[in-house]
Amino acid sequence: MKKTKLFAALLAGALLSGGPSAMACTNILVTKGASKTGSTMISYSADSHTLYGELYYRPAADYPAGTMMKVYEWDSGKLLGEIPQAAHTYSVVGNMNEHQLLIGESTWGGLHQLVDTTGIIDYGSLMYIALQRCRTAREAVEFMTKLVAEYGYASSGESISVADPNEVWVLEIIGKGTKIVDGKNVNKGAVWVARRIPDGMISAHANQARITTFPLNDPENCIYSPDVISFAREAGLYTGKDKDFDFAAVYNPFDYSGMRGCEGRVWSVFRQVTDGMDKYLDHVTGRNPKNRLPLWVKPSHKLTVKDVAEFMRNHYEGTELDMTCDPGAGAFKLPYRWRPMTFKVGDEEFFNERAIATQQTGWWYVGECRGWLPDPIGGVLWFGVDDAAGSPLTPFYCGIDRIPNAYAVGNGNMTTYSETSMFWVVNRVTNFAYQRYNIIQPDVKRAMDRFENRCFAEQPAVDGAAEMLYKQNPKLAIDFLTDYSVNTAQRLFDTWVALDRYLLVKYIDGNVKKEDAEGVFTDNGQGRGIPAMPDFPGYSEEWKAMVKEATGDRLKVVEATGKK
């Protein structure tokens, strides 16, 4: 299949799945034995050109018998139908509930003929309904799969990450298509398989199904729909033996985009934690679909929240896919490529690299679940908005009962600017930095590290104070953690407003003002607000050489030879 057709299929998969978040997200899954503190972790970037960065909050609630819940498609807002409401729902902050249940996802689309046009449970509903009704990862996997069996699955292929303080699971699911008999879809539901990540390992997924063959008799660590293999046979998708059944190969076969734009991101994580990953370069560059990455790897060192956050900020630095090392990076080594994903030169088509950190992220998080602490204290959602490489994380404890205005739903949207929205102020900073990335981004990264490192340093004291209060009265601990989370997020907002102004003053008009200290600009000696002569950093040597090559002698400075 030609690459033009591959990327048309990629776009079609995004449209079939219902919207903007499709084919774009990255998850990293960390088990207890792979983390430095003994926590489980999931990271998730919700990447979309139309998704607004805000922190969803759903308080716990009780409902009378007979109450119905309307189900809206997460991406489009379309009403899909309604289901019976639970008698009691748990509070949810972002993608973590009050019991430290944590969920993320990435869409892979899969075979287009398996989309169920009659289902009413989309992938977003799966996540957020499960968070409101489940306490553990295993319970959530079982609940989500039963829900789609009863009401139908309204999305395309999906990988869903699920963690609690003890276990980390990945669930891969796809519908069974639409076959109407007597007015009903006899293929309602989904085929799926879920695997528990072994303790001490990490996994990742990024818009490509990753579960291949799986154990058929290990219910402690692997569960699957009863018809996951038989349906494939009936649909003419598989003819081999049960033990050789490969879920990903059957329901989401590789194409160039799946290897280069999806598995490449998984590789960028794995190669930072274990040796030997370069042997998969032919796979992640789209040349060898058979040399696929493992589902999980054992990291060479225990990981922290900060480690995982930095993995989410990756642009393939230091590899042959490094996005700063070709002309597409421009004069200032920008590790981003504006969409569309491909471009043509004559009859040839080329690929714009797609790293984990991307400009169109709506929001992202690194969640940690810590079983040695009471639930309201143990679960922390480190949350950010916009591009992860330019977006600082701030902690939200899972037991809090209110959200700061800067992150609240309704404070601006993608077509309405808000001066009090964290999403908009982060976008002001990131989009300014994109203009001269290698010059401005170091200041942004320094501000991010300073804020995050302070939060990490404060965490033991915050945990300890909350534990003492919890022993007296859990409500006191929740009030304390809510105040801490809200006030810390507000401090970050204020810091980023100041950073936005500082960067504009320092880097206006392509110059770089001299500083006596950070934010204290060197005066020209007259004390009247006139700066010293700024620096003119100009362009990189590589860029100047390319300009010379492209223009020949047109820009060359020569001695005048004419006579007066």
pTM for the structure as a whole: 0.94
d(CA 11, CA 266): 21
d(CA 443, CA 502): 10
Work out the average pLDDT over 362-382.
Answer: 98
Sign (positive or negative) of CA dihedral 453, 455, 460, 461: positive
Residue 7 has what pLDDT? 38
**Confidence band of 341 (pLDDT split at 50, 70, 90):** confident
422: Cβ–Cβ under 8 A, 6 or more apart, which residues?
53, 385, 406, 407, 489, 492, 493, 496
Residue 17 has what pLDDT? 34
Percentage of the residues of the chain whose pLDDT score is greater than 90: 91
> pLDDT tens digits for 478-514?
999 999 999 999 999 999 999 999 999 999 999 999 9
Do residues 202 and 299 make contact, with C-beta atoms less than 8 angstroms apart?
Answer: yes
Residue 560 has what pLDDT? 81
95 pLDDT more than 70 = yes
The domain ranges of the chain are 3-320, 373-410+418-510
> pLDDT tens digits for 298-328?
999 999 999 999 999 999 999 999 999 989 9
Residue 104's CB is within 10 A of a number of other CB atoms, namely: 26
**Confidence band of 22 (pLDDT split at 50, 70, 90):** very low
H or E stretch covering 459: helix 437-472
- Report the SS3 class of residue 157: strand
Work out the average pLDDT over 27-34.
Answer: 98
**Confidence band of 19 (pLDDT split at 50, 70, 90):** very low
Closest to 12 (Cα-Cα) out of 108, 103, 100: 108
**Confidence band of 562 (pLDDT split at 50, 70, 90):** low
Per the structure block, which two tokens stand in for 219? 């219910």
